[in-house]
Chain A
Amino acid sequence: MTQQTWDEVGGLLPHDEFRAASEAIVANIEQVIEGKTATVRLALAVLLAEGHLLIEDVPGVGKTKLAKALARSIDCSVRRIQFTPDLLPSDVTGVSVYNQETHDFEFRPGAVFANLVVGDEINRASPKTQSALLECMEERQVTVDGVTYQLQTPFMVIATQNPIEMEGTYPLPEAQRDRFTARIAMGYPGPEAELAMLDGHGAADPLQELRAVSDADTVRRLIATVREVHVADAVKQYAVDLVTATREAPDLRLGASPRATLQLLRTARAVAALEGRDYVLPDDLQALAVPVLAHRIIPTADAQLARRTTDAIVAELVHRLPLPHDRQRSPYDNRPAADGNGRAPYEPRRR
């Protein structure tokens, strides 16, 4: 097993090769998931942003299928964990067992020792087991019995969960949710896509016929390319403004973390690269704000009573936050010149 660490991602890919590789992966996944190009691209973007993906939707819309399709499209190690209430942390991370031949303890790696880890129904496991993912997701390492094992690159956890049925589930703790880069919903397919699905999935599961179109090495080079995408100061400022706005929004009890800022920008880089750009636009941040930020924040009791979802709150923030200008102050900005830089027009709340 080659140990590719976090910092060793390989060389850059030229523009057209990057495009070809990414298009191939997307096209491959779309053989299985019809009519969900945006979702698929977002999933790939999260992979390229070195993040983790949480797919949350009602049963039967293809959450697991998307996860598996993504895993199969890339020729790399894939492990699948079915989270059940009786799953133990050692099933996830690995365990040291006594080897009678060597008379020594030998580490048996758990499910996370792979490039892609598909965690199905993650909220069905107990918090104890869920917590096993905390270290590996953020630090890409596993510590068992005082020994730390590095994980490979790429490393991505794709988890699915069902938000409707709460019986017998353990909601993800805040720390766990914050580690997921993006939460996406599948949504129902369109009528045409559903028709095509009936045709395609009628006889055989197309998933079985899916062939890998890429490998871990290519993905590493894709990641390296994404890391080189240019982010202008104004865009950075906008990202900070967005996150600050969630911290200061009156509807929110808990805003987004600095980690969220990092991941937002990283995902934006990936999206920009996937679109063939070598620079990030505020448009990318606007498009990513809901998937990247909405699952990390906690609305106030009032907002919950008003049935305002975090998605709606974040979307409204994006809608109201003016763009920062690296040039002179916009002439159409008729707010009083406070401490500048286009802060959200909210009173800072004292918590």
Chain B
Amino acid sequence: MTPKGSPVTATRNLGFVAAAATLLAAAPLSAIFERWTWLIQAAIAVTVVAGVAALTRLVRAPLWGQVLGMLGGLTLALAWLFPAGTELVAFLPTPGTFAHFGELLSASVVDMRSYGVKVPDTDPLLFVSVLGIGGVAVVVDVLAVGLRRPALAGLPMLAIYSVPVAVYVDSVPAVPFVVGAAGYLWLLVTDNVDRVRRFGRRFTGDGRDVDVWESSPLAAAGRRLAVVGVVLAVALPLAVPGMTGGLLNAVGAGTGTGSGNGQGGNPGRIDLFASLSGQLNQSEVYEMVTVTTTEPNPFYLRYGVADELRPDGFRVRNPTGRPVTRDLPDPTQRSGTGNGVERAQYRATVEVSKNLNMPLLPAYAEPVRTEELSGNWLYDPNQQVLFSNRENSRGKRYSFDYVRSTYTPTALRRAPSLPSDHPIRLQQTATPPVEQVDTLVADLVRGRSTDYDKVRAIYDHFSADNGFTYSLTTKGGTSGQDIVDFLNNKAGFCQQYAAAMAWLVRSAGIPARVAFGFTNGTGRTDDGYVLTNRNLHAWTEVYFDGMGWVPFDATPAYGVQGSTRSAWAPDTDAPEPAATEPGAPAAPDDSEAAPEATDPDAADQDTDAGLAVGANDPTRQAPVWPWWAAGALALLALLAVPALRRMALRRRRVARPTVALAPATVDAGVGPAGEAGRPVTVVLDPDRARADAHAAWDELLDTLVDYRVRVDRTETPRATAERLVTEAVGEDASAATAVRLLGRAEELARYARAPLAGGELHPALRAVRGALATRTDRRTRLLAAVLPPSVLLRWRTALGNTSSRLVARTGDARYRLLRWSPRRLLATRTGR
């Protein structure tokens, strides 16, 4: 039912705006679908709904008639878009059509379960989407046009937005929401413009008609309100602790500080490198993971892998896998067991703190069974990572059994090279051509026959002997150019070591990738480890046929707290010549690889800790208190600025010599002294005396403002002085004299032929100041000393003047620009 008297055109416009706004509000669905088919179909459905609504309004159907019409139109559109084949004339629904709809609905439930985002275009999902958007279009139309309550139309629009919110656990891309919000605002604006137009003619404040092409004078108030609202919305979360998040954090802290905050729910999207370097560079240390394990000295806790090498560096591929609730592949089934390869099963419990927030779960080696994890968590046997498209690691606690493999160098050396058509080799050895890297690799592997020897040659290259050092301050890229830079500069941290080694190994034709995780850290408890953001680490994994992925950590051990080395990849910087000798038999008894491998590591850890404290503390753990102190000092300085300014002002005024004596050879006729006619008389320089009197008077006025005594611009100096005598300084006779003296000096300086000669203005000022101070309360005195109101007032006035000038200027400019406004053309068309 159109409201009485409302022009049909306005309502029709509003109806189409409502339809367009609905489509805009559907934008968040783009985060769910892979393609844009849904948008075309939804647009068709919404257009049909809007068209039917306009038609029914044209025939002045009641509201229920409009609703029925729109629902009918939606049904026709759905029948045409998702035909069952039994329709009449292609779009008239039959019972078969509705049966088909039912099937689509139930199938959509299945699809929702089976597909992760982003979903492909399946008929059931498209049907549900179009049905939902069409339904929202009907509701929005009824609310906005039928009931004239467009504000309520935001609710169904929000319902669309809640779909991606429900699907993405973590956070949803912001842009679609902005698009939807813009649609909603458009609807509100259209409705309100229509409402204001109905008031009649619009006037400006001075009674002039507002032309159609001009914006309403009320709009300024609206704009101001909007600005205030936005500022509040941004500032409030900043002010309230614990409410920061998402956008603000990202803007404030640059590359990935928040552990996964603001990163999508898709594991493939995370830039693990950026996240890693961001975490390592943070001054704050916080717990991320607490882990207990039955393994005596475990290798690193691992959560992610970057195994896709593009020209711009290593990237994380989308993991694929099966739910962890099903059986996981058992590595003991793989060939190559025995013969220097040992596999042992352990059990570990991991407790993730709220600081680690990503769709991946840290785990040891190769988990074979998990507990306390839902079917939303999947295991990628290739990447050997636990991931989820729906949940994230924040606050998770879980246990798992895992198999740890240890290898002897001999066993690794026995591993044959992968055939060149092996899928892993095809996938994991592709490197972008970088000439310098290729020549370096060719140099390193010359004369090495086995894969292991080649890898060791590359691994040993990253040693202190070759000048490689640890530095957290380098740029963290992994593109070809970055790798070359690193190889030249020889300074970097785990990210560059891991990426460079993986690149070089790949370049040698051996599959390699970068793994991410935690070192064992320094926070060792009885049976486990407390791992912080500082323990985040990256290392290289190399694939050996029959063995699987074998970890190599090329990063200098002294740079990494809790660094662990193994028999097949000993510390290149360790003093034992046996360990650095690549060709030598690694250990006397290969069968005890694990304890053997970890023994020197205990020593390593100690040196690590010592070195970490000694050498790397300044960069890695800069103390926080200087910042606080500096901040407090800066704050104090800022607070002291008005008082300092006041003091400087006073000093400048007082600093003038009160009596500027100058021998006057010429009788200028100023002042009484001139009359005496003595050969050399001492007269006051009149300009100087005037300036002094003015300065003293200004100082007096400032003092009055400081002590909150009224200053009246309409009063003459004499009147002011008399008022002060009666009101402010009280019965203090000397102060009264002083006030009168100051008033008289100023009066003479301003209006008389000759200024006051020889008045002791500064003692007078002091006397007045003292008298005023004794008569005011302590708070006023304190304020006058710390935050002098006179200075603040002057600044405020200056600010106000500047802003009003600015406003006037922008107003002028705006008015001039408005002459060119295209909306002006409307004025001729829409005559009032």
- Do A and B actually bind? yes
Q: Of residues 216 to 241 in A, which have CB atoms within 8 Å of B's CB atoms? A: 230, 232, 234-235
Mask, B775-793, CB within 8 Å of A = 1, is: 0000000000000001001
- Choose one: A282, A326, A332; the contact of B705 (CB below 8 Å): A332
Mask, B715-731, CB within 8 Å of A = 1, is: 11011000000000000
A232 near B714 with CB under 8 A, answer: no
| B753 contacts A by Cβ under 8 Å | yes
| B235 contacts A by Cβ under 8 Å | no
Q: Which residues of B contact A319 (CB under 8 A)?
A: 714
A326 near B750 with CB under 8 A, answer: yes
Of the candidate stretches B208-216, B625-633, B800-808, the one touching chain A is: B800-808
| A333 contacts B by Cβ under 8 Å | yes
B797 near A323 with CB under 8 A, answer: no
Of the candidate stretches A26-34, A78-86, A159-167, A273-281, the one touching chain B is: A273-281
A232 near B752 with CB under 8 A, answer: yes
- Choose one: B694, B715, B750, B753; the contact of A278 (CB below 8 Å): B753
Majority SS at the chain A contact face: loop
B751 near A281 with CB under 8 A, answer: yes
| A108 contacts B by Cβ under 8 Å | no
Residue of A nearest to B750 (CB): A234
Q: Which residues of B contact A323 (CB under 8 A)?
A: 713-716
Q: Which residues of B contact A277 (CB under 8 A)?
A: 752
Mask, A326-339, CB within 8 Å of B = 1, is: 11001111101100
Q: Of residues 794 to 832 in B, which have CB atoms within 8 Å of A's CB atoms? A: 794, 796-797, 800-801, 804-805
Contacts A232-B751, A282-B751, A327-B694; is A321 near B714 (CB within 8 Å)?
yes
- Choose one: A232, A321, A322, A336; the contact of B804 (CB below 8 Å): A336
Q: Which residues of A contact B797 (CB under 8 A)?
A: 331-334
| A65 and B794 alpha carbons, distance in the complex (Å) | 55
Contacts A230-B752, A281-B747, A323-B713; is A334 near B805 (CB within 8 Å)?
no
Residue of B nearest to A325 (CB): B750
| A129 and B187 alpha carbons, distance in the complex (Å) | 80
| A302 contacts B by Cβ under 8 Å | no
Residue of B nearest to A336 (CB): B804
Mask, B674-709, CB within 8 Å of A = 1, is: 000000000000000000001000000100010000
| A283 contacts B by Cβ under 8 Å | yes
A332 near B711 with CB under 8 A, answer: yes
- A177 → B minimal CB distance (Å): 27
| A232 and B748 alpha carbons, distance in the complex (Å) | 10
Q: Of residues 742 to 765 in B, which have CB atoms within 8 Å of A's CB atoms? A: 747-748, 750-753
- Choose one: B694, B751, B794; the contact of A280 (CB below 8 Å): B751
A279 near B716 with CB under 8 A, answer: no
- A271 → B minimal CB distance (Å): 13
| A16 and B248 alpha carbons, distance in the complex (Å) | 81
B694 near A235 with CB under 8 A, answer: no
Total number of residue pairs linking A and B with CB closer than 8 Å: 61
- B529 → A minimal CB distance (Å): 66
Mask, B37-70, CB within 8 Å of A = 1, is: 0000000000000000000000000000000000
A333 near B713 with CB under 8 A, answer: yes
> Interface size for chain B: under 10, 10 to 19, 20 to 34, or 35 or more residues?
20 to 34
Q: Which residues of B contact A282 (CB under 8 A)?
A: 716, 751
Q: Which residues of A contact B750 (CB under 8 A)?
A: 232, 234, 326
Contacts A320-B714, A322-B714, A337-B801; is A230 near B753 (CB within 8 Å)?
yes
| A131 contacts B by Cβ under 8 Å | no
| A322 and B711 alpha carbons, distance in the complex (Å) | 11
Q: Which residues of B contact A334 (CB under 8 A)?
A: 796-797, 800
- A321 → B minimal CB distance (Å): 6
| A341 contacts B by Cβ under 8 Å | no
| A39 contacts B by Cβ under 8 Å | no
| A286 contacts B by Cβ under 8 Å | yes
Contacts A327-B694, A331-B793, A334-B797; is A286 near B752 (CB within 8 Å)?
no
| A336 and B800 alpha carbons, distance in the complex (Å) | 8
A286 near B751 with CB under 8 A, answer: no
With a 10 A CB-CB cut-off, give which of B711, B748, B751, B797 has the most chain A CB atoms.
B751
| A321 and B716 alpha carbons, distance in the complex (Å) | 11
| A14 and B705 alpha carbons, distance in the complex (Å) | 42
Q: Of residues 292 to 351 in A, which have CB atoms within 8 Å of B's CB atoms? A: 318-323, 326-327, 330-334, 336-337
Contacts A279-B751, A326-B750; is A332 near B713 (CB within 8 Å)?
yes
Q: Which residues of B contact A232 (CB under 8 A)?
A: 750-752
Residue of A nearest to B698 (CB): A331
Q: Which residues of B contact A322 (CB under 8 A)?
A: 713-714
| A232 and B717 alpha carbons, distance in the complex (Å) | 15
- A332 → B minimal CB distance (Å): 6
Q: Which residues of B contact A281 (CB under 8 A)?
A: 716, 718, 747, 751
Q: Which residues of A contact B800 (CB under 8 A)?
A: 334
Q: Which residues of B contact A234 (CB under 8 A)?
A: 750-751
B751 near A331 with CB under 8 A, answer: no
B719 near A283 with CB under 8 A, answer: yes
- Choose one: B701, B716, B751; the contact of A332 (CB below 8 Å): B701
- B748 → A minimal CB distance (Å): 8
B753 near A283 with CB under 8 A, answer: no
Residue of A nearest to B798 (CB): A331
- A225 → B minimal CB distance (Å): 15
Mask, B162-175, CB within 8 Å of A = 1, is: 00000000000000
- Choose one: A278, A330, A336; the contact of B713 (CB below 8 Å): A330
| A286 and B751 alpha carbons, distance in the complex (Å) | 15
- B283 → A minimal CB distance (Å): 45
Contacts A286-B716, A323-B715, A327-B694; is A337 near B752 (CB within 8 Å)?
no
- B444 → A minimal CB distance (Å): 77
| A100 and B467 alpha carbons, distance in the complex (Å) | 142
Q: Which residues of A contact B794 (CB under 8 A)?
A: 331
Residue of B nearest to A235 (CB): B751
- B589 → A minimal CB distance (Å): 90
| A332 and B796 alpha carbons, distance in the complex (Å) | 10
Residue of A nearest to B808 (CB): A336
A279 near B793 with CB under 8 A, answer: no
- B7 → A minimal CB distance (Å): 39
| A277 and B744 alpha carbons, distance in the complex (Å) | 12
| A16 and B694 alpha carbons, distance in the complex (Å) | 30
List 14 additional contacts besides A232-B752, A320-B714, A331-B790; criterion CB under 8 Å.
A234-B750, A278-B752, A279-B748, A281-B747, A283-B718, A286-B719, A321-B714, A323-B716, A332-B713, A332-B793, A333-B797, A334-B797, A337-B804, A337-B805
Interface pairs (18), CB distance under 8 Å: A234-B750, A277-B752, A278-B752, A279-B748, A279-B751, A281-B718, A282-B716, A318-B714, A319-B714, A320-B714, A323-B714, A323-B716, A326-B750, A331-B790, A331-B793, A332-B797, A334-B796, A334-B797
Which residues from chain A sit less than 8 Å from chain B, CB to CB? 230, 232, 234-235, 277-283, 286, 318-323, 326-327, 330-334, 336-337
What are the 7 closest A-B residue pairs judged by CB atoms, nearest first?
A322-B713, A279-B752, A232-B751, A282-B716, A331-B794, A283-B716, A230-B753
